[in-house]
C-alpha cells in the first residue's frame, strides 16, 4: 500500500491530518515547537535513541505487556473471543509510561532541565513524575483541583516521586484547565522546560510523536495475536479521552481493512443530556490547545465543560488524528455512559479478577454490548490500558460504600 491510499501516512509536514491538527500556538512557543520537531525527527531514526527506549520499555516498564485470553468473560458473553491487551500491568499502572519514557529521553537529549505535564486522572502525572525521578529531572504536574480531590492516591504518588503538583482552580478545574495552565507555564519557561503532553493532542509534532511512542501497544498486539491465533484480530476496542491508548492500539492496524476498529468515548450521563465528554459524537471541529479537532463548544466557540465519572476521559477535545479517522470513516466512534462503565468495572473484577481503571471500563462496557452479537471465531482485542487501584475510593463513594 503506498502513502496515497494509506491511513497511516499522516500528518503532512505542517502537522495536518486532513483539516485537523496543525500548530495553533502563541508565537513565543512556535520557534521552540519547531526545534522539538527537529529533535524528534532526529531521535526517531537514531539507533542509540531507539535502543535506549527499548531497554527502558523492557527492563523498567515491563514490556511487552501480555495479550490475555479472557476465557471466563468470553464464555459468559457467548460471542467473540475476547483478548485483553494488558497495559494495566505496566510499571505505574497504565499505558502512559510508554509515551513518557520516550518524551523524557527526548527532553534529556535536548538538554532541557525541567519537565512539566498536565494530568487528569493522574496516570500521566504519575508516569511523568516516575520518569523524572529516574532521570533526576525536576518535574511540575498541573492538575485541576477537582481532579486533585477525586484522584487523591495519585496526587500522593506524584509527591512521593518528588514531583510538585500544582492544583489548577481556573475554569472547570479539570484536565483542560490543567493543560491551559501548563501551556502558560511553558510560554514563560520555554527555553529550559520540556512540556511532556500526555495524549495524542496539542500542536504538531505532539499528536504524531505520542502516537509513535504508544504504537508499541498495537505492534506487540499484532505479533502476539499472530503467535496465539495465527492471524490478525477482527475487532479492536479502546476507550478515548484524548485518545492515546486507542491510537497506540489502532495505528498499526489502520491499513488492515478487515480489522474493525472502535473507539469508545465517555458518554457521562448520556450524550442526549449534554453532560458528557464525547467530543466526536457530540461536538464540532474547532481550535483548542494548539490543534484543530472536534470539541464540545457553543455556537460562538466557547468551550463547554465535559462530564465523566472518569477523570482521564473528562476532556472536551480529542486527538486530531481521531477526528480525521472519524471523518474518513476508518474508525467507528461510540460512547458508554458513567453507569455502564461502573457496571463493567464491577463485572471485570468479579469475572476475571482484574480491577480495571474507569477509563478502560468504558471500552469494556461497549465490549459487553458488542461481543454477544459477534460470531465465536471473531477475535476481539480490548486495550485494558489502566488498572483501577486509583479509582477504588471514587467507585466506593459512587456505590454508597464508606471506606
Partner 1 sequence: MSRVTKRFEKLKAEGRAGLITYVTAGDPNLDVSYEILKGLPAAGADLIELGMPFTDPMADGPSIQAAGQRALKAGISMDRTFAMVRRFRAETRDEETPILLMGYYNMIYQRGAQKFCADAKAAGVDGFIIVDLPPEEADQLKPHAEANGLDTVLLTAPTTDAKRLPAVLKFASGFVYFVSVLGITGTKSSTAEAIQGHVARLRTQTKLPIGVGFGIRTPDQAADVARVADAAVVGSAIVERVKAGLDDKGAPKPDLLPGVFSYIRALSEGVRSARRS
* Interface positions with partner 1 (CB under 8 A): 14, 22-32, 34, 170-171, 176-177, 180, 183-184, 187-191, 285-290, 292, 295, 297, 299-303
Nearer to partner 1, 270 or 285 (CB): 285
What cell was used for 138? 525536576
Minimum CB distance to partner 1, residue 16 (Å): 10
Closer Cβ to partner 1, 247 or 303, answer by number: 303
Q: List CB contacts of 64: < 8 A, sequence separation 6 or more.
A: 216, 220, 224
- DSSP conformational letter for 305: P
Helix (H, G, I), strand (E, B) or coil at 20: strand
CB 308 to partner 1: min, Å = 18
Q: Minimal distance in Å, beta carbon 157 to partner 1?
A: 27
As given in the structure block, the three cell numbers for residue 177 are 484547565
Cis peptide before 205 (omega within 30 of 0): yes
Q: How far apart are CA 53 and CA 397, in angstroms?
A: 39
In the complex, the smallest distance separating the C-beta of residue 298 from partner 1, rounded to whole angstroms, is: 9
CB-wise, 99 or 180, nearer to partner 1? 180
Q: Which is nearer to partner 1, 23 or 85 (CB)?
A: 23
**Least spacing, CB of residue 299 vs partner 1, in Å:** 7
Q: Which three cell numbers stand for residue 69?
A: 485470553
In terms of CB distance, is 29 or 238 closer to partner 1? 29
Whether the Cβ atoms of residue 228 and residue 69 lie closer than 8 Å to each other: yes
* Alpha carbon distance 199, 63 (integer Å): 20
* 170/401 with CB nearer partner 1: 170
CA–CA separation, 126 and 154 (whole Å): 7
Q: Please state, in angstroms and rounded to a whole number, the distance separating the CA atoms of residues 275 and 305.
A: 8
The least CB distance from residue 128 to partner 1, in Å, is: 20
Nearest CA to 311 among 250, 362, 260? 362
Closest separation between CB of residue 21 and partner 1, Å?
10
CA dihedral 291, 292, 294, 298 (to 10 degrees): 100
Our CB check for partner 1 shows the closer of 128 and 172 to be 172
Inter-residue contact 151 to 230 (CB < 8 Å) = no
Q: How far is the CB of 184 from partner 1 (least distance, A)?
A: 5
Element (H, E) at 185: helix 175-189
Residues 305, 341, 144, CA angle at the centre, nearest 5°?
35
Nearer to partner 1, 251 or 307 (CB): 307
CA–CA separation, 15 and 183 (whole Å): 19
Amino acid at each position: 500500500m503506498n502513502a496515497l491510499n494509506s491511513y497511516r501516512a499522516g500528518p503532512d509536514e505542517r502537522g495536518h491530518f486532513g483539516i485537523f491538527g496543525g500548530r495553533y500556538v502563541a508565537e513565543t512557543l512556535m520557534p521552540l515547537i519547531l526545534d522539538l520537531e527537529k529533535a524528534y525527527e532526529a531521535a526517531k531514526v537514531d539507533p542509540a535513541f531507539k535502543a535506549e527506549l527499548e531497554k527502558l520499555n523492557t527492563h523498567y516498564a515491563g514490556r511487552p505487556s501480555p495479550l490475555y485470553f479472557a476465557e471466563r468473560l468470553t464464555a459468559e458473553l457467548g460471542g467473540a473471543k475476547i483478548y485483553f491487551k494488558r497495559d494495566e500491568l505496566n510499571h505505574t499502572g497504565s499505558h502512559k509510561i510508554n509515551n513518557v519514557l520516550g518524551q523524557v529521553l527526548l527532553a534529556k537529549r535536548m538538554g532541557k532541565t525541567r519537565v512539566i505535564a498536565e494530568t487528569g486522572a493522574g496516570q500521566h502525572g504519575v508516569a511523568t513524575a516516575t520518569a523524572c525521578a529516574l532521570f533526576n529531572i525536576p518535574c511540575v504536574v498541573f492538575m485541576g483541583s477537582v481532579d486533585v480531590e477525586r484522584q487523591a492516591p495519585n496526587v500522593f504518588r506524584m509527591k512521593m516521586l518528588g514531583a510538585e503538583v500544582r492544583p489548577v482552580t481556573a475554569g472547570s478545574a479539570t484536565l483542560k484547565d490543567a493543560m491551559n495552565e501548563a501551556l502558560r507555564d511553558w510560554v514563560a519557561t520555554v527555553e529550559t522546560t520540556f512540556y511532556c503532553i500526555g495524549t495524542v493532542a496539542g500542536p504538531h509534532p505532539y499528536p504524531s510523536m505520542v502516537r509513535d511512542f504508544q504504537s508499541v501497544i498495537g505492534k506487540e498486539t499484532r505479533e502476539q495475536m499472530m503467535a496465539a491465533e495465527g492471524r490478525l484480530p477482527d475487532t479492536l476496542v479502546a476507550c478515548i479521552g484524548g485518545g492515546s491508548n486507542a491510537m497506540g492500539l489502532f495505528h498499526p492496524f489502520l491499513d488492515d481493512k478487515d480489522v474493525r476498529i472502535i473507539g469508545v468515548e465517555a458518554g457521562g450521563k448520556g450524550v442526549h443530556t449534554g453532560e458528557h465528554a464525547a467530543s466526536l459524537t457530540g461536538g464540532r471541529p474547532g481550535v483548542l490547545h494548539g490543534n484543530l479537532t472536534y470539541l464540545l463548544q457553543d455556537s460562538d466557540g466557547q468551550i463547554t465543560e465535559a462530564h465523566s465519572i472518569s477523570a482521564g476521559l473528562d476532556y472536551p477535545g480529542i486527538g486530531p488524528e481521531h477526528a480525521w479517522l472519524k471523518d474518513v470513516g476508518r474508525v467507528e466512534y461510540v460512547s458508554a455512559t458513567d453507569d455502564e462503565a461502573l457496571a463493567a468495572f464491577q463485572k471485570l473484577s468479579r469475572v476475571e479478577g482484574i480491577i480495571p481503571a474507569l477509563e478502560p471500563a468504558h471500552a469494556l462496557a461497549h465490549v459487553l454490548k458488542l461481543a454477544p452479537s459477534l460470531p465465536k471465531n471473531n477475535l476481539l482485542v480490548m486495550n485494558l490500558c489502566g488498572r483501577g487501584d486509583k479509582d477504588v475510593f471514587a467507585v466506593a463513594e459512587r456505590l454508597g460504600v464508606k471506606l
